[in-house]
Structure 1
Amino acid sequence: MRGPLVRSLHICASILLLLVLCMHESSGNVLGYSKSSALAERRADLLLPEISPNAAPQPFLPLLAPSPLTPFTNSTIPKLSGTCVLNFTALSNMMMVTSTDCMAAFAPVLANVVCCPQVEATLVILIGQSSKYTNTLALNGTLAAHCLSDFQQILVGQGANDSLSKICSIRSSNLTGGSCPVSDVSEFESTVETSNLLAACGKIDSVNECCQQVCQNAILDAARKLTEKAYSLLNLDGSHVFSDHTRINDCKSIVLRWLGSKLEPSRAKEVLRGISNCRINKVCPLKFPSMSHVIEGCGAAKSNQTACCSSVESYVSHLQRQSFVTNLQALNCAASLGVRLRKANITNNVYSQCRISLKDFSLQVGVQESGCLLPSLPSDVVFDQSAGVSFLCDLNDNIPAPWPATTQLPASSCNKTVKIPALPAVASGQRNFQRTGSNYAASLMASVALWILM
C-alpha cells in the first residue's frame, strides 16, 4: 500500500507545483535571464579569475513554497525494534536535519553532496554518543541490523526517502567494527594519543583542511595505531600496517566515532562533513555515457560548428539529468570530459566554441534551464513550515568550462593559488544575472515536479 500511496502523493504534489508555475508565468513575471541569452554573453576566451582565497562565492537561496511539499514532510510513527542501543532522541534535531537533507523528492539528486554525507555523519555521532554508556565504539552484527532499520524508519517517518540504504550504499556492517581490532573505548584511549587527535580535529579549518589535511592525518595516524594491535596480537611486526588498507579504513571509522563521542554533536558534524567534503570535491560524481555522437560531430575531419555544438549540447544535457554537483565537482567533470574528448582526437576547444559553462554539468532547474552549482563547503537543506524548502546555490556559475591543455587530468586545486571555496567565482566584469525569489522558486518547483514524474 505504501508504494502506490507515496506515488499518488508525488503525482499530486507535481500537479500542484506545475499549477503554481502556471500562475507565476501568467502574471507576467518571468525570469530576466534565459539559456540562449546567457550563452550569447559568455566570453569564449575567459579564464578562471585569480582572486583572493578569502573571497568566497556569494550563495543564492532558492525557496520552494511549502504547500505542495506537505505530503513529503508528514510525520508518521515508525515501528522500531525496541532493541537498538542508540539514543535517537538525544540527537532528535540532527535526525530532523538528516530527514530534510534526504527528503523523498530530493534525496537522489542531492545524494552525493548533501544527503549521504549527512546520513553518514549522523550514524557516526549516534554510535559515538552511545559509547558513553556502552563503552564500545562498534555494534555487533545483530544490533547493527536492528539499529540501521530503526534509523531508517525514523527518517522515513519524518519525510525522508525510503530508499536511503540503496541511495547511500549503507549496510548494517557499516555500524560494526569491521576488521579493526579495537572497539572498546578504554582500549582505544590507551592506544591512541587522544590529546593530539583532539587538538587536530577539535575544530577544523573548513577551507584549508582539504589541502593541509591536519585532522585527516591525525585520524590516519590513530587508525594505524589501532591496526598495529592486530599484528601485535600475532607477534608480528607492524610493517604490514601500511598495506592493510581495509583494516585501516575500518579503524578510521572507529576513530571518527570516538571523535563523535568527545565533541559536542554540532561540532562533530562540522568536522565530519568537512572531512567528507574533501573527498567529495576531489572527483566528478557523474557517469559519462558513450560519446560516439560527439566524436562523430566534432572529429578532426568535421568543420560544421553547428553540428558539433548540437552534439556537445545534447551530450551535456544527459549529464544534467543526473544530480546537483558542487562548483569544484563541476571543474572536475569539465576536466574529465575534456580529457576524454582530447583522447578521441578532438583538439579544438569545444567548450569555448559551444559556450559550455561549469553550471552546464549540474542538474538544471526550471523551464529556463538555469544550472545550480552547490557550494564547495558543506550545506544542508532547510525546511520551514512558512517559508518552504530551500538549499544554497552558488550563482557565480557563469564561468566558462576550462578546456584541458593536455590529455592528462589537471593537478589538484591544492596546487593552485586559488583555494576553496573561492574557486570558482564570478570573473571581473562578467554580468551577474539577478533573479527574483518568487520566479526562481516557480522554475525550481517545476523542475522537481517534472523529475518526480519521470
Structure 2
Amino acid sequence: MECLIIIYNTRSTVSYRALLLFIYIFNLQHALSRKSDLDTKNKFILSDPPMGILDPIEISPSTLPRNAYPAEPLSPMVPTFPSSYQPNLTGRCPVNFTQISPIIEKTASDCSVPLAAFVGDVICCPQVNSLMHIFQSTYTNGSNTDALVLNKGFANDCFSDMMNILASKGASSNITNLCTVAALNLTSMMCPVKNVSSFEKAVNVSKLLDACSNVDPLKECCRPACGPAIMEAAMKISMQGGGSGFLGNDFAGSGNVGIDMMSDCKGVVYAWLARKLSLETANSAFRMMTGCKVNKVCPLEFEDPSPVTKACGNTSSPDPAVCCSAFHAYIKSRKKQIIITNIQAINCATMFGSMLQKSGVKTDLYELCDIDLKDFSLQAFGQQGCLLRSLPTDIIYDNLTGMSFTCDLSDNIAAPWPSSSSVSSLSLCAPEMSLPALPVPQTSRSQDNGVNRKIFVLALALFASTIAL
C-alpha cells in the first residue's frame, strides 16, 4: 500500500510512473515466491523466530504440525505436547481405571516427558506415591471385600496396566526407577493387618480421620498432625498377630526387616484413609506427607570442597577473583541437573556453608561471590535458576505455553551463610526462621507477566535440550 501511495502522489512523467509500477509488481511477485517456499503441504521446517519477537504465540495442540524430519529438534518457541496413544493392557486387572481418572491424568501431567527427569523429587514422585495409595484402595474397595492389599498376581498385572496407562498419556516410562515404586508396594506383604475389619479393631479410626481429613499445608511440616497419626496407626497394626512390632525384639539383628514392615503397614494405613476420604482430599494429604519429607533434605551431593578451601584459604580476606572462580566452578560441577524447592535450596546452602566453615573458610563466600538461592537449582540456556515453592505444585498444560510450572523465589535472593558450622542448628520451623522476602514489585501485573515469560522460556528450553540429546 505504501508503494501505491507513492505512485499516486508523485508528480512525474508517465514513463517514470510505469517504472515505479514495474518495481512494485516485481517485489510483490518476489514476496509471493518467498511465501510459497514455506508451504507446509510440501515441507515443514521449524526455525527460530525473528529477533525481537519474544512473546509466545497461541497455538492449539490439535493444529500443531508434525515434524517431517524427526532428527531435527523442534524449535524452543513452539509449545510441545506429549503424544498420546491407546495403551496395551493385560486385561487381568479387575479395576475400573476411570474411577480414578482425575488422579491418573494429574500424575501423567506431573511426570510428563521430558520434565519428569528435572522435577522427579519435587513434582512427579509425590504424585506417583499418592496414586499408588489411591489405586490400592480403589482396587480393594471395588472388589467388594474388606481387603486393604492386593495379592501378588493382581498387583503385578495392575501395576503394569497403571504404568502403561500413564505412558500412553505422555508420562515418562522411567517412573519406576525415578520414584522407586514397584508392584510389591501394592501388596504390603510384611504387615500383619491386611483387611478393614482387623484394621478398625486395632486403630482409633476417629482420631486418624480427624488428623488427616483436613491437612493444613502451612502447619503439617512443622507442627504435624496427620503424619504422626499415620505413624501411630502403623505401629499399632504392626503389633497385631502376636508380633512385637517395629520396636519389639522379633526383628533384632534382622537388618531392614522392621523398617520394611513399618513401610508396609503405613501403606495399609494410607489405603484405609483413601477409602474414607474423597479423591482430591486424599491426594492432597498424601502429597503433603511426601512434600514434608522432600523439603527436609538437600538432594545435592557436596563432596570434598578442597578446591574451594585452597583457593579461598583460611584467611579473612581471600582474593575475590581467584576464590570466586574456584567457588563457581565447584558449585557448577556439584549441582545435579534437577530443579529443587526454595526450602531445599536453603538446606543446601546451609549444609555446604557448614562444610566450608569446618574446612577453615572464615569469609561469607555467598556474599563475596554473589551466590543466590537460585544458583543451587537448575539453570538452562542462560535462564535464571528456578526454585519451586515448598508446597506441592503441578505441571500445567495450556495452549499458550505448552507445559509449564510456577517458579518461586527466582529473583536474586541471597543464599544464607550459616551462623555456625553445625548443620543441626538449622531449623526452618523456628519462629525466627522464614524464607527471604521477595522485593516489593512496582506493579503486581507487570511482575506477574514477567514471571509468566520466565516460566514459558524455561519450560520450552528444557524440552529443547532433552529432545536434542
TM-score greater than 0.5 by the shorter chain = yes
Residue 361 (1) aligns with residue 411 (2): no
Aligned to 1:208: 219
> Identity of aligned pairs, percent?
36
- Structure 1 CA distance for aligned equivalents of residues 54 and 80 of structure 2: 28
Which residue does 1:172 correspond to in 2? 183
Aligned partners of 1:261 and 1:319: how far apart in 2? 43
Contact 1:64 1:444 in 2 (8 A): no
Q: Does 1:222 align with 2:222?
A: no
Partner in structure 2 of residue 90 of structure 1: 99
Q: Which residue of 1 aligns with 2:52?
A: 27
Counterpart-to-counterpart distance in 2, 1:83 and 1:164? 22
The answer to whether the 8 A contact 1:227-1:241 is kept is: no
- CA separation of 1:181 and 1:212: change in aligned 2, threshold 3 A: same
Q: Taking structure 1 as reference, are residues 222 and 444 closer, same or farther at Cα in structure 2, changes over 3 Å only?
A: closer
Q: 2:172: which partner in 1?
A: 161
Would you say 1:380 and 2:365 are equivalent positions? no
Q: Specify the alignment match of 2:461 in structure 1.
A: 446
Q: Which amino acid aligns with 1:308?
A: C
Which residue in 2 is equivalent to 1:141? 152
**Distance across 1 between alignment mates of 2:294 and 2:237:** 26
Cα distance in 2, alignment partners of residues 385 and 136 from structure 1 = 43
1:352 positional shift: 0.6
When residues 344 and 111 of structure 1 are mapped into structure 2, their CA distance, relative to the original with a 3 A threshold, is same
SS at 1:383's partner residue? strand
Q: Is the CA contact (8 Å cut-off) linking 1:65 and 1:387 kept in structure 2?
A: no
1:119 offset after TM fit, Å? 0.6
Is the CA contact 1:181–1:226 (under 8 Å) kept in the aligned structure 2? yes
How far apart, in 2, do the equivalents of 1:425 and 1:64 lie? 36
1:425 matched to which residue of 2? 437
Q: Distance in 1 between matches of 2:284 and 2:404?
A: 20
Amino acid at match of 2:310: E
Cα distance change on mapping 1:292 and 1:86 into 2, 3 Å: farther
Alpha carbons 1:327, 1:424 under 8 Å: kept: no
Aligned length: 397
Distance 1:263 1:111 in 2: 26
Taking structure 1 as the reference length, what is the TM-score of the superposition?
Answer: 0.80
| Contact 2:246–2:259, Cα closer than 8 Å, also in 1 | no
Higher RCO (CA-CA < 8 Å; seq separation 6+)? 1
The match for 1:254 is: 268
1:439 Cα deviation after fit: 6.6
Contact 2:81 2:403 in 1 (8 A): no
List per-residue Cα deviations over 1:41-99 (Å, max 9, x = no partner). Answer: xxxxxxxxxxxxxxxxxxxxxx9996567775221111111112343221112111111
1:116 corresponds to which of 113, 121, 125: 125
Asked whether the equivalents of residues 328 and 376 of structure 1 are also in contact (C-alpha less than 8 Å), the reply is: yes
Alpha carbons of 1:388 and 1:238: their partners in 2 closer, same or farther (altered >3 Å)? closer
The equivalent of 2:365 in structure 1 is 350
Residues 72 and 105 of structure 1 are in contact (CA less than 8 Å); yes or no, is this contact kept in structure 2?
no
**Gaps spanning 5+ residues in structure 1: where?**
1-14, 31-62
**TM value normalised by structure 2:** 0.77
Q: 1:402 aligns with which of 411, 416, 434?
A: 416
Code of the residue aligned with 2:461 in structure 1: it is A
Q: Take 2:343 and 2:249, find their aligned partners in 1: how far apart are those partners?
A: 35
SS in 2 for 1:23: coil
Post-superposition offset of 1:426: 1.2
Change (3 A) 1:436 1:303: closer
Contact 2:378 2:385 in 1 (8 A): yes
Q: Are the structure 2 counterparts of residues 387 and 411 from structure 1 closer, same or farther at C-alpha, using a change threshold of 3 Å?
A: closer
CA distance in 2, matches of 1:449, 1:327: 25
Task: Note if contact 2:238-2:246 (Cα within 8 Å) is conserved in structure 1.
Answer: no
The structure with the largest alpha-carbon Rg is: 2
Unaligned runs of 5+ in 2: 1-44, 65-73, 253-257
Instruction: Return the alpha-carbon distance in structure 1 between the equivalents of residues 125 and 195 of structure 2.
Output: 27
**Counterparts of 2:247 and 2:413, CA distance in 1:** 49
- Is the 1:372–1:393 Cα contact (8 Å) retained in structure 2? yes
Q: CA deviation at 1:312?
A: 1.3
Quote the residue 2:161 is aligned against: 150
**3-state SS of paired residue (2:429):** helix
Structure-1 separation of matches of 2:399 and 2:420: 51
Which amino acid in structure 1 is aligned with residue 84 of structure 2?
Answer: S
- The answer (yes or no) to whether the contact 1:366–1:445 under 8 Å persists in 2 is no
